[in-house]
């Protein structure tokens, strides 16, 4: 059984993001700016046509996944199933995903694309989330998937700076994954390679 839920915090998060982006052209964190520093000509640097369209698609697909992760952490945080130290961890990780989403949206726009918006409603398997471990396992699965998704995106970007930015996000999500596994009592780093 699955439920369609309307995570109440999401609309706020989306509005935050928009006003955040509206306030000025450059409102990303220092590290996010550094990722694309000196790349003001990114749009012009890009090869014309197919390669650029493809990069925009890859970024937008990643953005969609980040927005879903933000919503998923919101559901976790509001579930009442997370106890204190774990709860603040979830909120911190959600904040990272927000920063990833901001960077991706901004980059899509810079390339002349239209960033995807958060969905008004997400399906999550909430019926399968009955305790803190279930929520942690669900979050760990999303982070593991995100690591693989960025790993799969790195080689297909036409633009090497975008590949670098994806790799930077990949590293952050791998750390989330390890911490969540650790919180579950699992071996935090299960292998020498991610795949």
Q: Which residues bind other proteins (CB under 8 A)?
A: 1-2, 53-54, 57-62, 64-65, 68-69, 122-123, 125, 141-142, 144-146, 148-149, 151-156, 191-193, 195
- The helix-helix angle for 84-110 and 50-78 (nearest 10°) equals 160
Q: Is 53 a binder of ligand HEC (CB under 6 A)?
A: no
Asked if residues 193 and 89 have their Cβ atoms less than 8 Å apart, the reply is: no
The distance of Cα 18 from the centroid of its chain, to the nearest Å, equals 16
> Under 8 Å CB-to-CB from 82, ≥6 apart: which residues?
76, 90, 132, 135
> Under 8 Å CB-to-CB from 10, ≥6 apart: which residues?
70, 71, 74, 118, 122
Cα–Cα distance measured from residue 28 to residue 99, given in angstroms and rounded to the nearest whole number: 7
Find the residue with minimal CB distance to ligand HEC. Answer: 149
Task: Count residues near ligand HEC (CB under 6 A).
Answer: 4
Question: With respect to ligand HEC, which residue has the nearer C-beta, 138 or 150?
Answer: 150
Question: With respect to other proteins, which residue has the nearer C-beta, 26 or 50?
Answer: 50
The site partner of 107 among ligand HEC, other proteins, none (C-beta below 5 to 8 Å per kind) is: none
Closest approach, Cβ 56 to ligand HEC, in A, equals 13
Query: Of residues 61, 79, 132, 168, which one binds ligand HEC by CB under 6 A?
Result: 61
Asked if residues 36 and 161 have their Cβ atoms less than 8 Å apart, the reply is: yes
Closest approach, Cβ 96 to other proteins, in A, equals 15
Question: With respect to other proteins, which residue has the nearer C-beta, 155 or 185?
Answer: 155
Q: Which of residues 143-182 bind ligand HEC (CB under 6 A)?
A: 149, 152
Closest approach, Cβ 149 to ligand HEC, in A, equals 4
Give the 3-state secondary structure of residue 121. Answer: coil
| β-pairing verdict for 122-124 and 3-5 | antiparallel
Residues that bind ligand HEC (CB under 6 A): 61, 65, 149, 152
């Amino acid at each position: 059984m699955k439920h369609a839920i309307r995570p109440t915090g999401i609309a706020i998060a989306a509005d935050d993001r928009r006003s955040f982006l509206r306030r000025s052209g450059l409102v990303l964190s220092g590290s996010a700016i550094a990722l694309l520093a000196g790349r003001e000509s990114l749009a012009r640097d890009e090869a014309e046509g197919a390669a650029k369209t493809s990069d925009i698609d890859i970024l937008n697909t990643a953005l969609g996944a980040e927005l879903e992760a933000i919503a998923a952490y919101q559901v976790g945080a509001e579930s009442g199933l997370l106890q204190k130290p774990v709860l603040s961890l979830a909120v911190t990780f959600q904040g990272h995903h927000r920063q990833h989403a901001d960077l991706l949206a901004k980059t899509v726009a810079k390339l002349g694309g239209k960033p995807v918006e958060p969905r008004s409603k997400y399906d999550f398997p909430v019926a399968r989330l009955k305790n803190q471990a279930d929520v942690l396992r669900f979050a760990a699965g999303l982070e593991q998937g995100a690591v693989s998704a960025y790993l799969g995106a790195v080689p297909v970007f036409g633009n090497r700076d975008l590949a670098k930015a994806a790799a930077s996000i990949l590293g952050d999500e791998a750390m989330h994954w390890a911490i969540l596994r650790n919180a579950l009592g699992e071996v935090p780093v299960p292998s020498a390679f991610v795949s």
